Amino acid sequence: MPLLDCNVVDCYYNDSKLCSRHNIVVGGEEACSSDSTCCDSFQQKSMDSYTSNAGEATRPTSVTCEAVKCVYNEENLCMANQIGISGHNAHQAEQTECATFKPR
């Protein structure tokens, strides 16, 4: 499982830049660059929630990857050692991206 760093601070699963969801999905089947990908698992925090109660945050996270044109995609799983999810001011999945995406 890759080490996952997440800077999507408004995501329900973000706990101190770590993901408390044990499996995320990176979308972007036709992506040719990072900005065409997204974290399909993104869920916006509610206004009254300052921390995630989704579970224990960990850096190793299973990443299902639909970005088939990425060099790290092997049979729809991310094989990068470490990935970053970007989208500092994101309020929906489409405003996030896999910063580690590298075209084949």
Write out pLDDT tens, residues 42-68. 999 986 655 545 667 776 788 999 999
Domain span holding position 78: 3-98
Q: What mean pLDDT comes out for the span 22-51?
A: 89
**pLDDT digits 0-9 by tens, 76-97:** 999 999 999 999 899 999 999 9
Q: Per the structure block, which two tokens stand in for 40?
A: 């399909």
Place of tokens 């500092």: 88
pLDDT (0 to 100) of residue 51 = 52
User: What is the pTM (predicted TM-score) of this model?
Assistant: 0.87
Q: Are the beta carbons of 59 and 14 closer than 8 angstroms?
A: no
Q: Judge whether 51 lies within some domain.
A: yes
Q: Judge whether 50 lies within some domain.
A: yes
**Dihedral angle sign, alpha carbons of residues 7, 8, 9, 11:** negative
Q: Judge whether 103 lies within some domain.
A: no
Number of compact structural domains in the chain: 1
Q: Judge whether 104 lies within some domain.
A: no
